[in-house]
């Protein structure tokens, strides 16, 4: 039926559908995501709506069915809103452009998460269903095959649709409209500025912007200042078990084991929980050990960012929020703890009992200086499953196997990323052994997680027992990568404050993870850090092992002297005051120097760092 053949009522209904589709599809996307209607910017309606109009015109022109195309646009918008809600729920950030380089990793763990629709989702999907029912007799209105009269308008519709989609996906256009991403609080931007416009605006961060005045001379000048400062005695001043020649007082080199334990957190440290049993009592009672807390740059997910910070000393603060460094930035040989120790004669091994291609580790590890890699398929010990993943028992037994089979006297650096404690925490057949005594069963995900953390404590004891009698000097650090994503009500209870009411110090503290450093040789811990961040933790490990760091590591020591904690969330000075990256502070030049040297390490301005 042609337009001129319709009655007035039908024309009015179809015209209303065609005009309102971009706006209603946009609000459906936002409301399903949990956004409040009043929080959406007016310009966000325009920017997102015009892009959706492009999609709608494209579908209408291709199919010839305007009402059916409207339904499809609404469904796609709803799915995009739901996807961003769930991704943000599990890891603390919505979908970002660079996530599509980690689809294999996402697919590998997606089966362990349980998705439950929210009340908002049920409500607005119900509204969409009702609208579809009311318009059902119009769904088939149209004609797929164009006629002589309609072919040119439909071609014009395709061109117009593609043009709108292109124009309103450009960050420069969005900037003019004052709509875009909030890099430090991505979900806020997705809610207020639209989940489409914020996503597109993030594409401008796909490449790291070069610091101003980034020249070889600038790099050399900063490093010369580091050398001068080192001559004045600036360092961590840690009294470790070794001299500064890379070994013990007798000249033996330490074996170095670094265990990054998946989602390992210390919720008891905030003092607000009453548990049926402590989940970290053994580790906290260890003799000859250093226990403290490190701050992570991510929450709930983003493991590769954490190992990147630990191994390289680089900070996610100078990279786009939510980016995946192994996929995006480790594309050439990059200095790290592995390459440093390799140059000192260490055998370097990376081990993760997970999938080979997860986070692109199989490509990144060799570029970071690892001689060997082992994954789940390479296990030499029986695999014990704990909560759907290889257990920490299996993981630690593989570490022991490596030392039982290594050549005597050969120093080994083993970097390990565990898998046991990975989310989600709603396995129906996994027995809960640790409960909250004042509200047992109220937070099942949290109690399942705490049970897993208790297993880690138990299995770590077996690892320490083994190395306590191991002949060669060995030092072990175990630290968490990021806190787990659990029930928000439980997190508020653990922290003692709702997230909306947190100070900057409290907000940064929610990113804390524990660390423990232990050695089978005497370990003096008088000046040990109680708080640090993952980008500095590796330098402490080297210091305790008596291994002299490189010039970049010495620069990190200087930064740490002034800012003991530095993450993508913010930084903390020696007085315990926390700052966001939006603030202008007295540390601006120090941070510019850090950014410059990091850029050089990653992308190669010079060859001196």
More confident residue, 236 or 16: 16
Contact (Cβ atoms closer than 8 angstroms) between residue 358 and residue 104: yes
Percent of all residues in the chain with a pLDDT value above 90, rounded to a whole number? 62
Q: How far apart are CA 166 and CA 177, in angstroms?
A: 15
CB 311 within 8 A of CB 536: no
pLDDT band at 106 (very low <50, low <70, confident <90, very high): low
Per-residue CA distances from 73 to 133, 146, 195, 383, 419 (Å): 16, 21, 15, 46, 39
Write out the DSSP string of 491-559.
Answer: HHHHHTS-GGG--HHHHHHTTEEEEEEEESS----TT--SEEEHHHHHHHHHHHTT----HHHHHHHHH
Domains parsed from the chain with CATH numbers? 3-205 (no CATH), 256-538 (3.40.720.10)
| Mean pLDDT computed over 188-200 | 93
Higher per-residue pLDDT: 249 or 43? 43
Mean pLDDT of 480-503: 93
| Among the listed residues 236, 286, 231, 216, the one whose alpha carbon sits nearest the alpha carbon of residue 478 | 286
Q: Are 98 and 324 in contact (CB under 8 A)?
A: yes
φ, ψ of residue 48 to 5 degrees: the values are -70, -40
What are the tens digits of pLDDT across the range 380-399? 999 999 988 999 999 999 99
Angle in degrees, CA 315, 541, 538, rounded to 5: 10
Neighbours of 116 (CB within 10 A): 8
CA distances from 519 to 259, 293, 429, 454, 535 (A): 14, 18, 37, 22, 21
Give the residue-averaged pLDDT of 363-367. Answer: 95
Is the predicted pLDDT of residue 277 greater than 90, yes or no?
yes
Residue 51 has pLDDT above 80, yes or no: yes
Dihedral sign (CA 260, 264, 270, 276): negative
Q: Is the pLDDT of residue 528 over 80?
A: no
The residue-averaged pLDDT of 488-508 equals 93
Distance CA 578, CA 569 (A): 10
Nearest to 261 by CA among 476, 482, 110: 482
Nearest alpha-carbon partner for 531 in 269, 267, 294, 313? 294
CA 457 – CA 603 distance, rounded (Å): 39
Q: So what's the pLDDT on residue 4?
A: 56
Rounded average pLDDT over 269-283:
95
Judge whether 168 and 54 are in contact, CB under 8 Å: yes
- Give backbone dihedrals phi and psi of 417, rounded to 5 degrees, phi first: -115, 115
Query: Is residue 126 classed as helix, strand or coil in its secondary structure?
Result: helix
Assess contact for 426 and 89: CB atoms under 8 A.
Answer: no
Percent of the chain with pLDDT over 70: 88
- Asked if residues 421 and 456 have their Cβ atoms less than 8 Å apart, the reply is yes
Considering only residues 90 and 158, tell me which one the structure prediction assigns the higher pLDDT.
158
Q: Is the pLDDT of residue 140 over 70?
A: no
Lowest-confidence range among 53-62, 69-78, 151-160, 448-457?
151-160
pLDDT for 239 beyond 50: no
- What 3-state class would DSSP assign to 236? coil
Decide if pLDDT at 250 tops 60.
Answer: no
For residue range 19-34, what is the model confidence (pLDDT) as tens digits? 889 999 999 999 999 8
What 3 state SS string does 3-18 have?
HHHCCHHHHHHHHHHH
Q: How confident is the model at residue 434 (pLDDT cuts 50, 70, 90)?
A: very high
Q: Is the pLDDT of residue 492 over 80?
A: yes
| Higher pLDDT, residue 336 or 323 | 336
Q: Which residue has the higher pLDDT, 560 or 215?
A: 560
Distance CA 262, CA 306 (A): 10
Q: Three-state DSSP class for 479?
A: strand
Whether residue 527 contacts residue 237, with contact meaning beta carbons closer than 8 Å, is answered with: yes
Residues facing 512 on adjacent strands:
295
- pLDDT exceeds cutoff 50 at 235: no
**Can you tell me whether residue 434 is helix, strand or coil?**
coil
Whether the pLDDT of residue 585 is over 80: the answer is: yes
Closest CA to 409 of 326, 486, 472: 472
pLDDT at residue number 234 = 44
Q: At residue 327, does pLDDT exceed 90? A: no
pTM metric for this prediction: 0.78
Q: Mean pLDDT, the chain, as a whole number?
A: 88
Give the confidence band of 593 by pLDDT, cuts at 50, 70, 90. Answer: very high
Instruction: Concatenate the DSSP letters of all residues of 167-206 into one string.
Output: HTT-HHHHHHTT----TTSHHHHHHHS-TTHHHHHGGGGS
Q: What's the pLDDT tens digit per position in 57-99?
A: 999 888 888 888 889 999 999 999 999 998 888 777 788 887 7
d(CA 69, CA 76): 11
For the chain, state the CA radius of gyration. 27
How large is the average pLDDT for residues 578-591?
93
Q: Can you give 484-507 as a three-state secondary structure string?
A: CCCCHHHHHHHHCCCHHHCCHHHH
Whether the Cβ atoms of residue 330 and residue 350 lie closer than 8 Å to each other:
no
- Helix H or strand E segment including 397: helix 392-404
CA separation (Å) from 396 to 176, 188, 353, 380? 54, 40, 10, 12
Element (H, E) at 416: strand 412-417
């Amino acid at each position: 039926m042609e337009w001129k053949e319709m009655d007035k009522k039908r024309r009015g209904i179809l015209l209303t559908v065609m005009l309102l589709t971009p706006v209603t599809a946009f609000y459906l996307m936002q409301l399903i995501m949990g956004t409040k209607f009043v929080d959406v910017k007016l310009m966000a309606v325009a920017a997102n709506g015009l892009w959706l109009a492009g999609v709608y015109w494209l579908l209408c022109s291709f199919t010839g069915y305007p009402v059916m195309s409207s339904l499809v646009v609404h469904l796609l918008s709803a799915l995009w809103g739901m996807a961003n809600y769930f991704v943000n729920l599990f890891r603390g950030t919505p979908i970002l452009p660079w996530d599509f380089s980690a689809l294999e990793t996402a697919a590998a763990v997606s089966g362990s998460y349980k998705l439950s629709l929210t009340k908002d989702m049920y409500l607005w999907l119900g509204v969409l269903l009702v609208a579809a029912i009311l318009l059902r007799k119009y769904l088939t209105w149209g004609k797929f095959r164009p006629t002589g009269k309609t072919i040119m308008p439909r071609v014009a519709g395709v061109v117009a649709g593609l043009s709108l989609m292109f124009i309103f996906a450009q960050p420069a256009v969005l900037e003019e409209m004052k709509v875009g991403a909030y890099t430090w609080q991505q979900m806020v931007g997705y809610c207020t500025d639209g989940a489409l416009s914020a996503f597109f605006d993030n594409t401008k961060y796909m490449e790291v912007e070069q610091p101003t005045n980034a020249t070889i001379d600038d790099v050399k000048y900063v490093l010369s200042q580091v050398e001068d400062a080192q001559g004045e005695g600036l360092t961590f001043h840690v009294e470790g078990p070794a001299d500064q020649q890379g070994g013990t007082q007798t000249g033996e080199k330490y074996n170095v084991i670094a265990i990054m334990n998946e989602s390992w957190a210390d919720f008891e440290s905030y003092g607000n929980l009453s548990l049926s049993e402590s989940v970290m009592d053994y580790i906290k009672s260890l003799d000859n050990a250093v226990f403290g807390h490190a701050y992570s740059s991510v929450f709930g997910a983003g493991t590769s960012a954490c190992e990147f910070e630990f191994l390289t000393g680089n900070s996610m603060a100078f990279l786009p929020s939510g980016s995946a460094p192994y996929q995006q930035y480790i594309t050439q040989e990059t200095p790290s703890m592995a390459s440093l120790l390799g140059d000192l004669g260490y055998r370097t091994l990376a081990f993760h009992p997970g999938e080979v291609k997860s986070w692109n580790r199989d490509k990144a590890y060799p570029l970071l200086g690892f001689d060997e890699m082992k994954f789940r398929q390479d296990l030499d010990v029986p695999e014990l499953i704990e909560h759907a993943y290889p257990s920490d028992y299996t993981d630690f037994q593989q570490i022991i196997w490596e030392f039982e089979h290594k050549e005597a006297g050969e120093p080994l650096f083993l970097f390990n990323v565990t898998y046991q404690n990975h989310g989600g925490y709603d396995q129906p057949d996994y027995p809960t052994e640790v409960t909250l005594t004042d509200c047992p069963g109220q937070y099942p995900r949290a109690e399942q997680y705490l049970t897993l953390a208790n297993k880690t404590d138990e299995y770590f004891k077996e690892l320490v027992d083994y190395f306590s009698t191991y002949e060669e000097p060995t030092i072990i650090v175990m630290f968490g990568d990021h806190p787990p994503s659990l029930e928000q009500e439980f997190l508020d209870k653990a922290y003692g404050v709702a997230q909306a009411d947190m100070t900057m110090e409290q907000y940064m503290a929610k990113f804390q993870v524990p660390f423990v450093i232990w050695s089978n040789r005497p370990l003096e811990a008088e000046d040990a850090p109680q708080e640090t961040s993952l980008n500095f933790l590796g330098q402490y490990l080297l210091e305790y092992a008596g291994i002299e760091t490189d010039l970049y590591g010495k620069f990190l020591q200087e930064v740490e002297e002034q800012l003991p904690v530095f993450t993508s969330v913010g930084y903390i000075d020696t007085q315990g005051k926390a700052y966001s990256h939006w603030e202008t502070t007295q540390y601006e030049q120090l941070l510019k120097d850090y950014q410059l040297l990091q850029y050089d390490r990653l992308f190669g301005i010079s060859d001196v760092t």
